[in-house]
Structure 1
């Protein structure tokens, strides 16, 4: 009797363990994309009558380009004394020191629940010693009473990973939670492209890391990837940039100076002062001398690697940029120099001289926004297909941003229903509750449907909490001066809550 009872108990335990293992295995599945043609030419046809027609008026694009230059070299640039001073002089509890202390506390494990606990790459929780060592290296007290200094202006001389705290260590939540674990390193803020103007607010005690103000955010980068600038460098660089800027239009374009010296591979989203020569587009490249001072080199790029800004905002040119970016892996916080949703669109719009912030929630504020969050998914789709403007309409759904590229007949439906087609870089879809992920994990052409036939349990993107539609050919209701006058260090220093 005892043996039989033990057998049933053992069988029950094995069944529970097997079910648990199966559940863990099913945290992630791969979403099949076979039904969705990933050829850009399928959706942006060269034969279309408007293929070479500008989608933006010349005046609107000129104003957009002015905004872009303002972030890079103007009133909102890290090289602008008034802008940097505004950041350095924020009062507590909204100052640099308080915000940095808040981040240190956020990433420590003391007093955290199981779901909030941070793990290293070896699946073990980070120790208190780990976060204390990082804090000791930061020396937060040194962030008190900072003032603008001209010799703290700098420039990125290589592509860098921007980190929330000065460490290359990863910080994952438990891999046993859906949408957590690898690749979601919570300390990964973004990628910082070579040639980006910077201001060094502080350095770590070991000088390995620099806390930099960028045109987009404030983060820690490796000090050996930047060089300090002086008036002569900045005046020369900015004068050339104000004449002409060039944007990279091919992923991983090799940048070699006129002596044949390789400097870095440039990504879409990078910009440089440039001139158009018979040999090709010639760009300025910042390099570091032996004293880590910035010096200017020149490089001639291969045909198709770059375009003078602003590139005409035509379907042809959008398709050109999309072809070099589509189906690249999803990169959480631009990990490995791949893009997440907002980095994808920020990079895509750069050659056209259209400035988008780094965070998805802020990108929709750059155009006239219509909030459709309060209506049904059916009404949301109907509105989008009736009012969306291809390549100029963003949709924010909460932690994720999408580009509308037009409405098309659904080739997979028997009655050829019309569907809204989008371009986006997305991790995946989930059911409700979000107990698992159907991973897409790359930049794709993907429709907004009421349901996906591959898995009817998945929540469609049209049914998320938010559905905010933004038109980049129109201007937001608040003026540019109102938006530029606001500085929020939490927005600039905290990682974004992205859809996982």
Structure 2
């Protein structure tokens, strides 16, 4: 996910050069070539996986890799390493790297051109003249699933009339309990510019509770804890504590268990014997950080630790998102292509950069890079060597290797749609969801396959 090439990442093309594959693969009533009901069941892929339960990386190795990622990947931010005082130049760089006035025409949700005056007004809203020469480093915790934006505005803008899915001001989302550094506020005071481990962007002030460095950075290390292993889960409704009522927790979110509570006493008006009692951050009226118990039913999908990194778990976790609507920048309470693969791996404790552009080349990940000089034979050899869980990148898009049918590789990915040529005619199927598709026939344009435009293969090993 990243702006300039995003539209290209969402369409799968299969022209004349792949006609052989199209003829060999069945086209079911859905129109999704090569995919029937069997392929939509994770059990189908588990049966074919060699040694599906073998541990690929143990927890200690994963922790070491995560620590290295923070140190060597420029898209990541090690909050532990931030100085006690931030310089104006650093804060301006964070903001100006992101918040650049758009130079191309944009449209609103009604398909009307966004006036130049509206775009011009975005720059004063940044209040860059109010960034002090130095400032004490402040910290906070995200208290609810929160959108991170290019500018301090809720205005949704789009590159094309009628395209109301890809909001160009939507960057990503952060989840409850994520630590951030608070470095600036918008002109109207309603937005904060924050730096999280994987992103730096604008977020609405009411999504952040400010606390001490020790409170904020220590929260992630609290134990015991639960890890959300379902696609999304929600805390139990509570009238008594609205801030933690039906709170969405996405896959991979780690939340500590509350300590020191009497086992026979109610939590927020409800007995806790059939639920896990979590400790969640809440924002007090003055914006400061506090913590509240919240209940997560024991019949929801969570675990006492991150799942083992195995091929079986990669398949199972990916399929928990099957059919979820595509959400650019984690919009629609969902996720996009890079958010999908990173959330799957996060449930096994593996941290990754947020966007495809960073994931594909991260010095903290094991990757094979491809350039225009690499021949088709070199690329085909790499495709033949793909393993379950490998991540395949083309400009602006990422897919996860799922398995093979009669030697042909299949992937699972969050995509807008696919097109293929059948009996000489182009057929397009709008997907807009996490989908299973074949890989080899997919084309980037009328002359190049996805494989021809492949930029990287990342293997978490």
TM-score category, normalised to shorter length = 0.7 to 0.9
Q: What residue is the counterpart of 2:83 in the other structure?
A: 82
1:197 has 2:179 as partner = yes
- Cα displacement (A) at 1:173: 1.5
- Cα displacement (A) at 1:231: 4.8
Question: Within 5 A, what are the aligned runs for 1:439-454?
Answer: 439-450=430-441
* Conservation of the 8 A alpha-carbon contact between 1:309 and 1:351: no
Q: Which moved more, 1:319-328 or 1:215-224?
A: 319-328
- Cα displacement (A) at 1:256: 3.5
Q: What residue is the counterpart of 1:273 in the other structure?
A: 256
Q: What residue is the counterpart of 2:156 in the other structure?
A: 170
- Give the Cα separation in 2 of the matches to 1:166 and 1:227: 18
User: Does the residue aligned with 2:117 lie in a helix, a strand or coil?
Assistant: helix
- Cα displacement (A) at 1:303: 3.2
Q: What residue is the counterpart of 1:210 in the other structure?
A: 192
- Cα displacement (A) at 1:237: 2.1
- Cα displacement (A) at 1:426: 1.5
- Give the Cα separation in 1 of the matches to 2:161 and 2:292: 45
Q: What residue is the counterpart of 1:404 in the other structure?
A: 401
Please list the CA deviations of residues 401-428 of structure 1 after superposition, one character each: whole Å capped at 9, or x if unmatched. Answer: 121233332xxxxxxxx11122211123
1:427 has 2:442 as partner = no
Q: What residue is the counterpart of 1:155 in the other structure?
A: 141
- Give the Cα separation in 2 of the matches to 1:84 and 1:55: 41
* Conservation of the 8 A alpha-carbon contact between 1:76 and 1:83: no
- Cα displacement (A) at 1:281: 4.7
Question: Within 5 A, what are the aligned runs for 1:231-242?
Answer: 231=213, 233-234=215-216, 237-240=219-222
User: Does the residue aligned with 1:95 lie in a helix, a strand or coil?
Assistant: helix
Distance 1:263 1:251, change over 3 A: same
1:341 has 2:356 as partner = no
- Give the Cα separation in 2 of the matches to 1:70 and 1:53: 29
Distance 1:289 1:80, change over 3 A: farther
- Cα displacement (A) at 1:41: 1.5
Q: What residue is the counterpart of 1:394 in the other structure?
A: 391
- Cα displacement (A) at 1:69: 9.0
User: Does the residue aligned with 1:129 lie in a helix, a strand or coil?
Assistant: helix
Please list the CA deviations of residues 430-461 of structure 1 after superposition, one character each: whole Å capped at 9, or x if unmatched. Answer: 689xx997532111222212358xx9959542
* Conservation of the 8 A alpha-carbon contact between 2:307 and 2:348: yes
Distance 1:144 1:85, change over 3 A: closer
Distance 1:331 1:382, change over 3 A: same
TM-score (normalised: structure 2): 0.77
Q: Which moved more, 1:376-385 or 1:155-164?
A: 376-385
Question: Within 5 A, what are the aligned runs for 1:10-25?
Answer: none
Question: Within 5 A, what are the aligned runs for 1:289-368?
Answer: 289-301=284-296, 302-364=298-360, 365=362, 366-368=364-366
User: Does the residue aligned with 2:280 lie in a helix, a strand or coil?
Assistant: strand
Distance 1:377 1:446, change over 3 A: farther
- Give the Cα separation in 2 of the matches to 1:235 and 1:451: 44
Q: What residue is the counterpart of 1:264 in the other structure?
A: 247
Q: What residue is the counterpart of 2:21 in the other structure?
A: none
- Cα displacement (A) at 1:324: 1.9
User: Does the residue aligned with 1:319 lie in a helix, a strand or coil?
Assistant: helix
Pick the structure with greater CA Rg. 1
Distance 1:127 1:153, change over 3 A: same
Distance 1:342 1:451, change over 3 A: closer
Q: What residue is the counterpart of 2:57 in the other structure?
A: 56
> Of Structure 1 and Structure 2, which has the larger fraction of its residues in helix?
1
Unaligned runs of 5+ in 1: 1-27, 410-417, 474-500
Higher relative contact order (CA 8 A, sep 6+): 2
* Conservation of the 8 A alpha-carbon contact between 2:77 and 2:196: no
- Give the Cα separation in 2 of the matches to 1:398 and 1:31: 27
Q: What residue is the counterpart of 1:480 in the other structure?
A: none
Distance 1:281 1:378, change over 3 A: farther
Q: What residue is the counterpart of 2:230 in the other structure?
A: 250
Distance 1:132 1:395, change over 3 A: same
- Give the Cα separation in 2 of the matches to 1:303 and 1:70: 38
User: Does the residue aligned with 1:296 lie in a helix, a strand or coil?
Assistant: strand
1:185 has 2:167 as partner = yes
- Give the Cα separation in 2 of the matches to 1:84 and 1:447: 51
- Give the Cα separation in 2 of the matches to 1:207 and 1:436: 50
| Aligned counterpart for 2:42 among listed residues 37, 40, 43 | 40
Distance 1:360 1:96, change over 3 A: closer
* Conservation of the 8 A alpha-carbon contact between 1:377 and 1:463: yes
- Give the Cα separation in 2 of the matches to 1:44 and 1:305: 20
- Give the Cα separation in 1 of the matches to 2:157 and 2:129: 24
- Give the Cα separation in 2 of the matches to 1:257 and 1:451: 45
* Conservation of the 8 A alpha-carbon contact between 1:341 and 1:424: yes
Unaligned runs of 5+ in 2: 1-12, 14-28, 264-272
1:137 has 2:125 as partner = yes
> What is the CA RMSD across the aligned residues, in angstroms?
3.6
